[in-house]
């Protein structure tokens, strides 16, 4: 190789190395940010997609959908009304577990609609946009809703239904 060729290749290699390091830094920061924002939902999405790249694209898509939604907090009066209704539903769990789960599911859907979440995703079993704004509740709501949907096909015992119910107790 001539000196001119070497002098030409050195800056090109240096630029490629710097670009690679910058890309790696960008990805690690993105991963850290998404992991801290989504918590367990991050891990669940990685498992679902089988890799970080696709999962992180999905999580970023959810973030963009939330930015477009008009999500709001419940008013103190709404919160109190929903909490009272929740306690009523919860008090019936031991006597009528499956019916109570159905009622709880309806109540959670009502709460999420009142807050402005796009419930088409919830009913369609797509990953919830709620996971962007409220990771703790969305995972429990999605799991509970999935359990309820299973109830149509497989008789579930109160022991299997109880976690779905308790996961949702703080939904409002």
pLDDT attached to residue 28: 93
Alpha-carbon dihedral sign for residues 43, 123, 104, 99: negative
Task: Give the end-to-end CA distance of the chain in Å, rounded to a whole number.
Answer: 71
pLDDT in tens, 21-54: 999 999 999 999 999 888 888 888 999 999 999 9
133 in the same domain as 59: no
Question: Is residue 172 domain-resident?
Answer: no
163 in the same domain as 110: yes
Burial class (CB in 10 A: 0-12, 13-18, 19+), 22: exposed
pLDDT in tens, 104-132: 888 888 888 888 877 655 544 444 554 55
62 in the same domain as 92: no
> Could you list the residue range(s) of the whole structural domain that residue 158 is in?
76-167
């Amino acid at each position: 190789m001539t000196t001119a060729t070497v002098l030409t290749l050195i800056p090109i290699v240096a630029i490629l190395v710097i670009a690679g390091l910058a890309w790696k830094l960008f990805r690690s920061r993105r991963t850290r940010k998404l992991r801290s924002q989504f918590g367990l939902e991050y891990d669940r999405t990685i498992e679902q997609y089988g890799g970080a790249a696709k999962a992180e694209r999905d999580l970023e898509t959810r973030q963009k959908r939330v930015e477009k939604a008009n999500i709001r907090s419940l008013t103190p009066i709404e919160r109190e009304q929903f909490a009272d209704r929740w306690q009523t539903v919860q008090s019936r769990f031991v006597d009528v577990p499956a019916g109570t789960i159905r009622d709880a599911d309806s109540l959670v859907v009502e709460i999420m609609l009142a807050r402005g979440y796009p419930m088409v995703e919830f009913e369609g079993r797509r990953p919830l946009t709620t996971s962007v704004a409220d990771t703790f509740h969305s995972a429990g709501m999605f799991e509970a809703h999935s359990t309820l949907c299973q109830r149509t096909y497989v008789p579930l015992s109160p022991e299997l239904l109880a976690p779905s119910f308790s996961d949702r107790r703080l939904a409002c």
